[in-house]
Amino acid sequence: MTANRSPRLGERVVAPFGRRRCEIKRNLPSGGYRIFSALDPAGPVPAAGQFYMLATDSGWGGDQGRPYLARAFSVADAAPEDGGVRLDFLVQAVGPGTSRLAALEPGEGLWVHGPLGRPFSAPRDVSEGAAGAILVGGGIGVAPLALWRRQLLAAGTPARVLLGFRDRENSGGLDLFDCSEIRLASEDGHSGHRGFVTDLLAVLLEGDDTGSAAVYACGPPAMLEAVRGMCAEQGVACELAMETPMACGFGACFGCAVPLADGGYLRLCVDGPVVRGDQLETALVPGSGH
């Protein structure tokens, strides 16, 4: 595919070989998180749900050499621009790698390898009768849903968005959605419904039109497991964008193995990170999530 063609819904975009140096164009606060943008000079437009392995070209390896390995990041938005494709990432600083990425300044260099992994599928490919989508995000897991919403709307597919956060500090990324039709939940009640985002999903799943939507979720393992269970109970198809620690990101180390309901494992970096809910016995995978 050409560098600036947008992928069809559900199309897996293949990464060019090796990593590329991108220039940081901006880095702005977004609630308790930050959004940084890099101009990818030679990469394709990614599909929503795919991820990149990221490392800065300086200051990567502080005390005791950490973070050392590149870090996995969902692409939160992407668009062709003069000189390449703009890639937006939403970051929550939780350790040395994410803290260094959160501190990137415009003009600095970022190494990217990607887009990697399996993206979200079009609603009709998740469930035959699904004409629309329900997007459920929790915490930093809202990142891939912003690009997914934009790609769904560009294809004329209706999408309802439910986002939940723990508290003000652990929230952000709303700037990426550029719409007022998001339904919010927060555990501390600072915005929207006081409680879990899954409370909002429960209301939608009780509606008459449930069978006409596929559910897409990204967030902490407990949220994903709740979404998986609720959808299984209501007979609604869902896809979950999962996280495990990833050392390589392209299938070589087997560090990202996730057990499947029918036995066996998948490597989340190549067979995921987007996984169908009915493939899993549980989304509570040891080592997954923040």
Ligand X SMILES: Cc1cc2nc3c(=O)[nH]c(=O)nc-3n(C[C@H](O)[C@H](O)[C@H](O)COP(=O)(O)OP(=O)(O)OC[C@H]3O[C@@H](n4cnc5c(N)ncnc54)[C@H](O)[C@@H]3O)c2cc1C
Give the residues lining the site for ligand FES (CB under 6 A). Answer: 246-249, 251-256, 267, 269
For ligand X, which residue has the nearest CB?
Answer: 95
Helix axes 221-234, 197-205, angle to 10 degrees: 10
89 or 111: CB nearest ligand X:
89
7 or 115: CB nearest ligand X:
115
67 or 219: CB nearest ligand X:
67
Q: What is the nearest approach in angstroms of ligand X to the Cβ of residue 22?
A: 16
Q: What is the nearest approach in angstroms of ligand FES to the Cβ of residue 99?
A: 21
Q: What is the nearest approach in angstroms of ligand X to the Cβ of residue 100?
A: 8
Q: What is the nearest approach in angstroms of ligand X to the Cβ of residue 226?
A: 18
**From ligand X, ligand FES, none, which one binds at residue 251 (CB under 5 to 8 Å depending on kind)?**
ligand FES
41 preceded by a cis bond (ω within 30 of 0) = no
Q: How many CB atoms lie within 10 A of CB 107?
A: 8
Which positions touch ligand X (CB under 6 A)? Answer: 51, 67, 71-74, 89-92, 94-98, 140, 143, 243-246, 273, 289-290
**From ligand FES, ligand X, none, which one binds at residue 73 (CB under 5 to 8 Å depending on kind)?**
ligand X
Q: Rounded to an integer, what distance in angstroms lies between the CA atom of residue 156 and that of residue 132?
A: 9
Q: Rounded to an integer, what distance in angstroms lies between the CA atom of residue 271 and that of residue 52?
A: 15
- Judged by DSSP in three states, 285 sits in coil
Among the listed residues 43, 51, 47, 50, the one whose alpha carbon sits nearest the alpha carbon of residue 2:
43
91 or 130: CB nearest ligand X:
91
Q: Which two tokens stand for residue 4?
A: 């600036």
**Given CA atoms 76, 248, 240, 10 in this order, what sign does their dihedral have?**
positive
